Amino acid sequence: MRCANTSAAWVLALGLCACEAPIPPVMKIGVLAPQSGNFEVRGKDLLRGATLAADEINAAGLKIDGRPVRVDIVSVDDKGDDTGAKDGALELVQSGVSAVIGPLYTSQAQQAIPVVAQAGLPHFITAAAPDLLSRGQGNTLRLLANDDLQMRAVASFVQETLRAERVVVVHEDTAFGNGRLKDFTAELQKRGGRLSATFAVEPKAEVSKEVAARIKAVNADAIALFSRDTHLKSLFASLKEVGHTDVSVIGLNGTRNQNVAAAPVPVKNLYATATAIDPQEFVNGGRFVEAFRAKFGGAPVWGAHYAYDAVYALTGAARSAETLKAAELIQRLKTKEPSARVNEQMRFDAAGEQRYASIAVYKVDRGVWTLQMRSSQW
């Protein structure tokens, strides 16, 4: 406990001490992610990564300002729902957590960020929409690349690697899908390309045979899919039905999952860009994967290492600052090199973005997503 300089006589006489509140014995870190519903696999991965880090830190013994502190992970299931994310963020704040990790996706993050910002807590997110950090109050920290970089990567890959001449976009008719269409169009035009057609699909609707027929009519050689994987299955079925399968499809984060890779791919090639880089691609990722397997009986599936690194970064900041005060933790995270264990390039800039974020491009090859390229310069 650090005290301000004051006269010992004054303290003895009046029984007063201008001291900071003592370091609590427990540092609670909230994880706001789906543990049920359509996105529970990724949500559980995030929670397990944070849990693994907390167990390791507790086993090693954490001291902050000379006092032993135990790290507890507090989980709230937002069910992948916008309202659940807002309510879950409030629940975590009211439970006295020192920081929040999550939620997974943009629409949930839009609801949770103002709640956590009002409390002034460090808030680590994996959602990639570029404008999300502005919804906070300088407390929001993105763990991976944002969609501005992802759209540059998609445009570069389509134009310069695939050398596609007739590009079509199929996107979900949401703020997410419409935003990605706008950004991709601008990036493609910068590279001398242009869109042959665009098709908006309602989030819960299927890509119809009529849409596939129009894609065939323009003889598209590349389709950019700005949607979750819910539209991929119907896109494949409709393209197959109209006989237009000599085409490459490139999706985003939601496309790159094990179920998609394991299913038949009726088109020429299936690619996906990813803001989340697989742990095996980092120098220290192998050790993390081994520890994760030993604890949970299987390999991580998506972003476990980002939550793992967030816990290490936060506790490292607390150790360095010798406090759990939120404002000091945020300042330390933005100005000092975080104590990340897997992603050694993790650096937060003044806005809370990653300084050296990368986008990777993967391809389905014999039922497995295989890395094609990775870069922070697109």
Low-confidence ranges of the chain (pLDDT < 70): 1-21, 228-229
The yes/no answer on whether domain 8-144+280-346 falls in CATH 3.40.50.2300 is yes
pLDDT of residue 229: 67
| CA 32/CA 223 separation, integer angstroms | 33
| CA 164/CA 185 separation, integer angstroms | 14
The CATH 3.40.50.2300 portion of the chain extends over: 8-144+280-346, 147-274+360-375
- Helix (H/G/I), strand (E/B), else coil: 68: strand
pTM for this model (two decimals): 0.85
pLDDT of residue 3: 46
Please count the other Cβ atoms lying within 10 Å of the Cβ belonging to residue 18: 10
pLDDT of residue 22: 85
Task: Report yes or no: 235 and 266 within 8 Å, Cβ to Cβ.
Answer: no
- For domain 147-274+360-375, give the CATH superfamily: Response regulator (3.40.50.2300)
- Helix (H/G/I), strand (E/B), else coil: 99: strand
pLDDT of residue 230: 78
